[in-house]
Structure 1
Amino acid sequence: MAYEVEPPKYVRLAQTIQHRIEDGTYPPGTRVPSENQLVQSFGMSRPTVVRALELLKRDGWLESRQGYGTIVRDRPEVVEQKDRRGREALERDESQTSGRLVEVADVVVPARVASALGLPKKAKVLMRRFLVQEEGEAVELVSSYFPADLVEDTELASAEVLAGSVRQHLEARKRIRFDHVTERVSARLPETGEADLLGLPDGVPVLSVLVIACDASGQALQVSDVLLPADRQELEDTYRLS
């Protein structure tokens, strides 16, 4: 997808390397070129190359092995679990969800979202903010951000709830396909407006799940910031030890 503003150099480099993994240029289990080789091949600075490699490691495309270098891991595994926040944010039917559409507006993109979308600071994006409620209690605040060109010829800018999910709507209207999601979890104090909507007293933090929804090429199509009252959450995972 072409954006009006070109993504940062490290994002473009990461996308190029990812494309080479997907087309078999860098097969799974092999080493990617060294930092020096990438600097020379692409004419980019070492910090740019390092940042691109870290981005690919974070998203599961590469891994570092001591004494061997940076290894290709192939496409990141997509774990099918019903309680994934990212899947819920993409596939929630606003018209069938208990809660309300709080705001639809063009806003200056938040810094974390700008980085994920590959947009510069102060770029304008569309935000849809939905408050999820259970038995009248606010349980989740979802702020979803969309690049301007993705909004064209859709109903995303409408102040009315969508009939169906955002994913269904975008895939039907824009002829795109969502492929995978990356989730980044952090904790922070909510902004005043966020605290009011969630009914939180002063000093109560929230868990922020930044949901980055991408196509098969790794291009971020949508970013959602899912806020959960931290005093009502408990994260648990079970996994095998190798």
Structure 2
Amino acid sequence: MAYEVEAPKYVRLAQIIQQRIEDGTYAPGTRVPSENQLVQAFGMSRPTVVRALELLKRDGWLESRQGFGTIVRGRPAVVEHKDRRGSEVLARDESQAPGRVVEVGHVTVPARVASVLGLSKRAKVLVRRFLVEDDGEPAELVSSYFPAGLVEGTELESADPLSGGTRAHLEARKKVRFDHVTERVSARLPERGEAELLELPDGVPVLSVLVVACDASGQALQVSDVLLPADRQELEDTYRLS
């Protein structure tokens, strides 16, 4: 597609290994080729290979076992078994959700969104900004960014509330398929406009959940920055220890 930008070498290698795990070439419980073998097979440097393997370990596709090397774990299953904020963002029906669309337009891509989409810092993207309300009070601010080439032929540029959610809309209109989501949580002070929409006093920070929604190849289709007033939020997760 016109909006796709070639990913870094280590990401491309990670995607190839991921695809081989998906198609059974590298079966769960087996060892992946050694670093030397991957360097020779793909003509990439050792640092590139190491970084790709670390990325796959971080995301749960691989694991290191003492005396065995790098072992295939298979497709991570945690996302399918638990509700996540990212899936809520992708499925939110703006026409039914409590809140309102506060901005739609083309803007210069924010730096950390540019790095995820593989765009230059001067590139333009479409932003849809939705203010979620709870009993009439602002609860979260969702800024969703879309590559320009993905917008044509959709209703994303309309200021009217979008029905059915962005995922369903894009899959129907652009024939893309969303596969997985990565969420990155950080804290920062809000910009003036963000603070005004969230009705925050000066000095109150926000939690930023950066939602990166990708297709099976790892290409980012939508990036959403979800801002939550830090003084009204508590993040909790419960999981078993293996």
Q: State the TM-score, normalizing by the size of structure 1.
A: 0.90
2:186 corresponds to which residue?
Answer: 186
CA distance, structure 1, for counterparts of residue 52 and residue 2 of structure 2: 20
2:17 corresponds to which residue?
Answer: 17
2:4–2:219 Cα contact (<8 Å) kept: no
1:208–1:226 Cα contact (<8 Å) kept: yes
1:160 corresponds to which residue?
Answer: 160
1:56-135 residue pairs with structure 2 within 5 A? 56-77=56-77, 78-82=79-83, 84-135=84-135
Write the letter of the residue equivalent to 1:103.
Answer: E
- Structure 2's unaligned 5+ residue stretches are none
1:57–1:63 Cα contact (<8 Å) kept: yes
1:197 corresponds to which residue?
Answer: 197
1:185–1:208 Cα contact (<8 Å) kept: yes
1:47 corresponds to which residue?
Answer: 47
Write the letter of the residue equivalent to 1:169.
Answer: H
Displacement after TM superposition at 1:40 (Å): 2.5
CA distance, structure 2, for counterparts of residue 20 and residue 164 of structure 1: 33
- Which SS does the other structure have where 2:160 is aligned? coil
CA distance, structure 2, for counterparts of residue 105 and residue 60 of structure 1: 36
Displacement after TM superposition at 1:38 (Å): 2.2
- Structure 1's unaligned 5+ residue stretches are none
Q: State the TM-score, normalizing by the size of structure 2.
A: 0.90
1:102–1:129 Cα contact (<8 Å) kept: yes
CA distance, structure 2, for counterparts of residue 194 and residue 55 of structure 1: 32
1:186–1:207 Cα contact (<8 Å) kept: yes
Write the letter of the residue equivalent to 1:11.
Answer: V
Displacement after TM superposition at 1:4 (Å): 4.4
Structure 2 CA distance for partners of 1:128 and 1:18, relative to 1, 3 Å: same
CA distance, structure 2, for counterparts of residue 34 and residue 164 of structure 1: 46
Greater displacement, 141-150 / 120-129: 120-129
2:138 corresponds to which residue?
Answer: 138
Greater displacement, 106-115 / 173-182: 106-115
Write the letter of the residue equivalent to 2:218.
Answer: G
**Cα-to-partner distance string for 1:183-206 (whole Å, 9 max, x where unaligned):** 222222222222221111222111
Write the letter of the residue equivalent to 1:203.
Answer: G
Displacement after TM superposition at 1:19 (Å): 1.2
2:28–2:72 Cα contact (<8 Å) kept: yes
1:32 corresponds to which residue?
Answer: 32
Structure 2 CA distance for partners of 1:148 and 1:57, relative to 1, 3 Å: farther
Write the letter of the residue equivalent to 1:217.
Answer: S
1:7–1:120 Cα contact (<8 Å) kept: no
Write the letter of the residue equivalent to 1:3.
Answer: Y
Structure 2 CA distance for partners of 1:50 and 1:192, relative to 1, 3 Å: farther
**Cα-to-partner distance string for 1:10-64 (whole Å, 9 max, x where unaligned):** 2222211111111222111222223333223222233322332232223222222
2:150 corresponds to which residue?
Answer: 150
2:144–2:222 Cα contact (<8 Å) kept: yes
CA distance, structure 2, for counterparts of residue 13 and residue 150 of structure 1: 25
1:101–1:161 Cα contact (<8 Å) kept: yes
**Cα-to-partner distance string for 1:59-92 (whole Å, 9 max, x where unaligned):** 222222333322222111123334x211110000
1:131–1:138 Cα contact (<8 Å) kept: yes
